[in-house]
Structure 1
Amino acid sequence: MKFTEEQDMLRDMVRRVAEEQVRPLVAEMEETKRFPEELVAVFGDLGLLQMWVPEEYGGPGGDLTSVCIAKEEIGRVSLAASTLCANNSIGLILPLLHFGTEAQKARYLPEAAHGRTLSAVAITEPEAGSDVSAIRTTARRDGDSYVINGQKSWITWAAQANYMLLFARTSVGRGHDGISVFLVDTKTPGVRIGRKETKMGRHGSPTYQVFFENMRIDADCLLGEEGSGFKACMRILDLNRPSVAASSLGLAQAALEESLNYAKDRRQFGRRIADFQAIQFKLADMAMKVEAARTLLYSSTQEIDAGDTARLTLLSSMVKCFVTDVAMEVALEAVQVHGAYGYSTEYPVERFMRDAKLNQILEGTNEIHRVIIARQLIGR
């Protein structure tokens, strides 16, 4: 792929930051599952936390391709840390840019531009995962306020976030209609953070249950029109899903690199295992998949950045599904190339395998994305 000079410079800078600032934290993140809060200042000072804030509001004015470049490079070192890069895009910046009023943009975007603001997205519920229309959390209008009650689950950064993008039902019944979206200060009375989930991977990127108990918020916390939240959700996720793929691409690249290095060093039967055709075929397949994933990702982001959004939903689902599947496949093969050492925490490939799985599930399972792709193709 052909990138601009600025994008090449961004890649070089983020790669250095990932090696110098992120890699030393990985072992502790794995052992203690601690949120690396020191990276907030590191990423914020470099504009990586707030990449999508427009220049007119004091931000770096990044685009989707630039966000993906940064998340790929950090993903090579730590998938968990890569989720912090451009953290507030989906939970704050993109919703405001696409659905916020000028007053809301003026209120929140300059704050985000300072590079210390974290956000969380509260969509998923115990019985509303892939089926967003099943949301039960309610927002009842009461004069100049909304009163919100309900529960959310699997909310990343909930305990650390300054703001939460909250999806709630403002009219009775089920279905897509009647879901609204609110931007909520997490210090609002009535927000209660529940248990921290114990996860197989992506340690250091904490996930929580969240409860809303008669939480009262001002009516101007509503983004867009009442009842238009599902449409807002789909648009925001379409724009963000390629960045999920970018993190997975970085992981896949790291798995390939680790496998190449190991295969050239490890000797069996008097030869490097890289000299055996069985290993060569694995490495070749891994490399082809990584290169195909990179080409699909960046050809898609460049098309979207050019302003052509006719295929946004199709490309977003294709990229998210294909690249995250590739990352899982390459991570599994990396473990196999390493043999018994691949199962040991002495080498990073077992972490790659555990981390890779989650991105096949979050922001729509890859089965759901195959449904979306098929429906886009046949015109539904």
Structure 2
Amino acid sequence: MNLEWSAEQLALYNRLREHGGSLAPGQPGEGGADWEALAAGQVMALPVPVDYGGLGHSPLTCAFALEGLGYGCRDIGLLVSAGAHMWAVQHPIVKFGTPQQKATYLPGLASGKLTGAHAITETEAGSDALAMEAAAVKDGTTYRLSGRKRFVTNAPQADVFLVYATLGKQFGFTGVTAFLVERDHPGLRVEAEYQKMGLRSCRWGQVVLDDCVVDESRRLGAERQGSKIFASVMAWERTLLLAPLLGAIEAQLEECVQRTRSRRQFRRRISSFQSVTNRIVDLRLRLEAARNLTYRAAWELADNEESCYPEMVKLAISEAAVATFEGAMQIFGGYGYTEEAGIEERLRDALGTRISSGTSDMQRSVIAAKLGMR
């Protein structure tokens, strides 16, 4: 793995870092203008093949570029929203879609004119996502979909939903099949979901499938291939969804260093207190470990989706983010606890990243299984 970035990669990183700095933090339930601004920077186009209006970058280049975006952009919710769109909808269409499906959806998704949502979680199927109740009953060349999906990122504004349903509970995870269903398709409706404590500019909702009849041309991949599609989504999402947080963590640590030089207690700069400097050093170690795990995972992602690196990346970045923003609050003292400092919002957002795309406990469980212990 060569981490000597090319001139093109460095230019892309710097461009997105600057572009991220121009994005204003979104407001709860809003953010349309920010989404359009993100799309104007060609963020959603990063991994999409050139033939379908994308930039065709490798996973490693995407990880590096998104790190730059996260350094400049302080709206973590917006970044998670874009990541869900890219890795849980665009990617599976690129990998499993028919030529017609790719031509229909990828140009719009890459330009940001279309928004994608990944509908798999249910009330009793969260970490065990494939233990779903949503059903797909085949009738000739059509499928009748029924069920309710929960906590669907981007649902309120999505144009196309990647929906999973099972052909029969007797098949277990092998019966799961994926479908591409458009927002205005009869039988699909979006309902409100609980308000979140963080990631508020990353909107979510419930997706209800009520006698939703779709043609087999809407099926993504083959029948009973949904578990394979979902596994691929998880490998890419867990590797790249939180790559922007690497930049956000670095920006926060730089602010912490500056704070230790300017803040005084007991007539001394707090940078002279070993407990303070040790905290920042430990946080920096967490960042570098997470960063190098991300690069390693992204480097091998295109050829190997079976390794435990995606789960290690998801675990490392989310835990590093929570530790960093919590540590920053301590370093900034009383001011760090105010809304004006912005740290409390980033901490609430970071806590959400320990849950989305699989909880931290679930990541450890998957890693253990891939190491042969379960």
1:284 aligns with 2:281: yes
Question: Which residue among 13, 16, 26 is the counterpart of 2:18?
Answer: 16
Question: Which residue among 350, 362, 369 is the counterpart of 2:356?
Answer: 362
1:373 aligns with 2:367: yes
Q: Please report the TM-score for the alignment, with normalisation by the length of structure 2.
A: 0.93
Q: Please report the TM-score for the alignment, with normalisation by the length of structure 1.
A: 0.92
Could you give the per-residue CA deviations for residues 315-362 of structure 1, whole angstroms, max 9, x where no partner exists?
Answer: 111111112111111221111112222211121221221111111111
Question: Which residue among 171, 191, 195 is the counterpart of 2:192?
Answer: 195
Letter matched to residue 12 of structure 2: L
Letter matched to residue 252 of structure 1: I
Q: 1:115 to 1:199 in 2, by over 3 A?
A: closer
Quote how far apart the aligned CAs of 1:376 are.
Answer: 1.5
- Asked whether the equivalents of residues 83 and 237 of structure 2 are also in contact (C-alpha less than 8 Å), the reply is no
- Asked whether the equivalents of residues 81 and 153 of structure 2 are also in contact (C-alpha less than 8 Å), the reply is no
Quote how far apart the aligned CAs of 1:257 are.
Answer: 2.0
Could you give the per-residue CA deviations for residues 166-196 of structure 1, whole angstroms, max 9, x where no partner exists?
Answer: 0111123372121100111111122221113
Instruction: Give SS of 2:151's match.
Output: strand
1:181 aligns with 2:178: yes
Distance in 2, Cα, partners of 1:221 & 1:336? 51
Quote how far apart the aligned CAs of 1:87 are.
Answer: 4.8
- Asked whether the equivalents of residues 170 and 180 of structure 1 are also in contact (C-alpha less than 8 Å), the reply is yes
Aligned partner of 1:108 in structure 2 is 105
Letter matched to residue 16 of structure 1: E
- Spell out the pairing of 1:147-186 with structure 2 (5 A cutoff): 147-173=144-170, 175-186=172-183
Question: Which residue among 327, 331, 335 is the counterpart of 1:337?
Answer: 331
Quote how far apart the aligned CAs of 1:95 are.
Answer: 1.1
Quote how far apart the aligned CAs of 1:63 are.
Answer: 2.1
Could you give the per-residue CA deviations for residues 132-161 of structure 1, whole angstroms, max 9, x where no partner exists?
Answer: 121101111123221111101110110111
Distance in 2, Cα, partners of 1:48 & 1:74? 9
Note the aligned Cα RMSD (angstroms). Answer: 1.9
Distance in 1, Cα, partners of 2:112 & 2:91? 16
- Asked whether the equivalents of residues 44 and 111 of structure 2 are also in contact (C-alpha less than 8 Å), the reply is no
Distance in 2, Cα, partners of 1:359 & 1:34? 19
- Spell out the pairing of 1:202-351 with structure 2 (5 A cutoff): 202-305=199-302, 307=303, 309=304, 312-351=306-345
Unpaired stretches in structure 2, ≥5 consecutive residues? none
Quote how far apart the aligned CAs of 1:86 are.
Answer: 5.0
Quote how far apart the aligned CAs of 1:243 are.
Answer: 1.4
- Spell out the pairing of 1:126-165 with structure 2 (5 A cutoff): 126-165=123-162
- Asked whether the equivalents of residues 48 and 86 of structure 1 are also in contact (C-alpha less than 8 Å), the reply is no
Answer with 6-15 or 58-67: which moved more. 58-67
Answer with 161-170 or 66-75: which moved more. 66-75
1:71 aligns with 2:71: no
Instruction: Give SS of 1:134's match.
Output: coil
- Asked whether the equivalents of residues 126 and 153 of structure 1 are also in contact (C-alpha less than 8 Å), the reply is yes
Distance in 2, Cα, partners of 1:101 & 1:85? 23
Answer with 102-111 or 202-211: which moved more. 102-111
Quote how far apart the aligned CAs of 1:246 are.
Answer: 0.9
Instruction: Give SS of 2:184's match.
Output: coil
Could you give the per-residue CA deviations for residues 237-293 of structure 1, whole angstroms, max 9, x where no partner exists?
Answer: 101211123133233223312211222221111111112111111111111211221
Letter matched to residue 343 of structure 1: Y
- Asked whether the equivalents of residues 85 and 116 of structure 2 are also in contact (C-alpha less than 8 Å), the reply is yes
Distance in 1, Cα, partners of 2:353 & 2:192? 22
